[in-house]
Chains A and B, each alone.
Chain A
Amino acid sequence: ETGVTQTPRHLVMGMTNKKSLKCEQHLGHNAMYWYKQSAKKPLELMFVYNFKEQTENNSVPSRFSPECPNSSHLFLHLHTLQPEDSALYLCASRQGGGNEQFFGPGTRLTVL
């Protein structure tokens, strides 16, 4: 695998379910990001991790819980989501010292 991978690519869940999104980067980067992309809105930054430490939480509701066990892996744990949380969730990584971010293919999430 190369670049940034995300699984699953598609997820349908009910409001009472618990699920997790996974991101893995094979680029040797040390910063990882979660973004939410909804129709007609700019990409919304959710969380930032640098060297496994969370450095930014952009006022995200607690029903989204990130986890970064190491610099290559990032998870987003989901529970009791709302239909308005349906969106494309994108993971990205960046090498420290640079500004360029490299994105995964995203997980299309639908909350029923």
Chain B
Amino acid sequence: TQLLEQSPQFLSIQEGENLTVYCNSSSVFSSLQWYRQEPGEGPVLLVTVVTGGEVKKLKRLTFQFGDARKDSSLHITAAQPGDTGLYLCAGANYGGSQGNLIFGKGTKLSVKP
């Protein structure tokens, strides 16, 4: 069974701090996606990474896909209260059903003003 482990599970920081969230697996994924989910809403896609070693930036968010396509990280610079939410990583696997995703449990981020 493929699993995606996210860490930390919870993170509470002050506005302006930097943080990194990790998503790790022993399995190789063809692509990996990051979502942010706010309370009472569905996950919103932030980015998809496809190539091993790929780095993508979305304003203050930097996403990296591991060289071996087994892990990924999300780094937020100068966090803002608006960054608060549940961050989910999801991997698309080579061997499974096309288009189906494996989700991590998520990292719940709270940014205090």
Residue B80 CB within 8 A of the other chain: no
Per-position binary interface string of chain A over residues 24-57, scored 1 when its CB falls under 8 Å from any chain B CB and 0 otherwise: 0000000100000000111101001000000110
Range of interface residues on chain B? Answer: 20 to 34
Closest beta carbon of chain B to A53's beta carbon, Å: 13
Task: Check B42 against A90 for contact (C-beta < 8 Å).
Answer: yes
Tell me the bound Cα distance from A55 to B97 in angstroms.
Answer: 9
Closest residue to A96 on the B side, CB-wise?
B99
Task: Check A99 against B42 for contact (C-beta < 8 Å).
Answer: no
Q: How many A-B residue pairs have CB under 8 A?
A: 56
Tell me the bound Cα distance from A106 to B86 in angstroms.
Answer: 15
Residue B33 CB within 8 A of the other chain: yes
Q: Which of B4, B35, B99, B104 is the most central at the interface, judged by chain A CB atoms within 10 Å of its CB?
A: B99
SS class, residues of chain A in contact with chain B: strand
Tell me the bound Cα distance from A45 to B45 in angstroms.
Answer: 17
Task: Check B88 against A99 for contact (C-beta < 8 Å).
Answer: no
Task: Check B105 against A99 for contact (C-beta < 8 Å).
Answer: no
User: What is the total number of residues of chain A having a CB less than 8 Å from a CB of chain B?
Assistant: 25
Per-position binary interface string of chain B over residues 75-113, scored 1 when its CB falls under 8 Å from any chain A CB and 0 otherwise: 000000000000010101000010111011110000000
A interface, CB within 8 angstroms of B: 4, 6, 31, 40-43, 45, 48, 55-56, 90, 92, 94, 96, 98-106, 108
16 contacts between A and B (CB under 8 A): A6-B42, A41-B105, A42-B106, A43-B90, A48-B100, A90-B43, A92-B42, A99-B30, A99-B48, A99-B92, A100-B45, A103-B43, A103-B44, A104-B42, A105-B41, A106-B41
**10 tightest Cβ-Cβ pairs between the two chains A and B:** A103-B42, A99-B92, A43-B103, A42-B103, A42-B105, A103-B43, A105-B42, A106-B42, A99-B31, A94-B99
